[in-house]
Amino acid sequence: MTRIGVLALQGDFAEHVSVLRRLGSEAQEVRRPEELSGLDGLIIPGGESTTISRLMTEYDLAQPLRRLAQDSFPVWGTCAGMIVLARRATDLEWPTLAALDITVQRNAFGRQVDSFETDLSVPALGAAPFHAVFIRAPTVEEVGEDVEVLAALEDGRVVAVRQRNALATAFHPELTDDDRFHSYFLEMVGAREGEISRDASR
Ligand code: GLN
């Protein structure tokens, strides 16, 4: 069975755990470096990126996670998790995991419209729009050459990206009933497992 870790230092990790279990995967809450062993992928939830990145450093998870993320291990960050995966983030005093060649702006929607919901077109998930929940969300300001844009708002601001093994969404698929982003991530995980077993049988 596929075993996915969910970083459980702060934020809405429990919601990711329930979606993963609903989809038939094993979900492991991760708070200590030992809990990273035997995982096929990792989700970094929404929450507060300053707190998550500070605790990651304090709990000795930052180094091993940085190594995994840069070594084709599948990772997905939602909202604060996107910030933690970005190479550069505005207003963040702790180092990020730099798994995605993007620059993100934290709290990009300001105080007045800090939370909203909208239907997004996400061609990688099929024709039906994805109902996206944004809560004090970041946006992607710059994307590197290898980064694929999966979704943007009508004004062009980028809100979902993928770069090989790393996926990031500025919104919270774990807070809706639409499991397509979780299934998409599980497909990324499955594709990597296929590559590993092909390499091993050579
Ligand atoms: N505003 C938060 C941050 O900067 C992210 C909010 C969220 O994850 N919902 O980390």
Instruction: Give CA–CA dist 72/56, Å, rounded.
Output: 20
pTM of the model: 0.96
Q: Is 81 in the pocket of ligand 1 (CB under 6 A)?
A: no
Could you list the active site residues? 79, 172, 174
Q: Residue 162: is its pLDDT beyond 80?
A: yes
* Distance from Cα 27 to the centre of ligand 1, integer Å: 23
186 CB-contact burial (10 Å; exposed 0-12 / middle 13-18 / buried 19+):
buried
The ligand 1 atom at the shortest distance from the C-alpha of residue 46 is: 8
Average pLDDT of the chain is: 95
Q: 21-30, 108-117, 175-184: which range is least confident on average?
A: 108-117
| Average confidence (pLDDT) over 125-154 | 97
* Distance from Cα 46 to the centre of ligand 1, integer Å: 6
112 pLDDT tier (thresholds 50, 70, 90):
low
- How many residues are present in the chain? 202
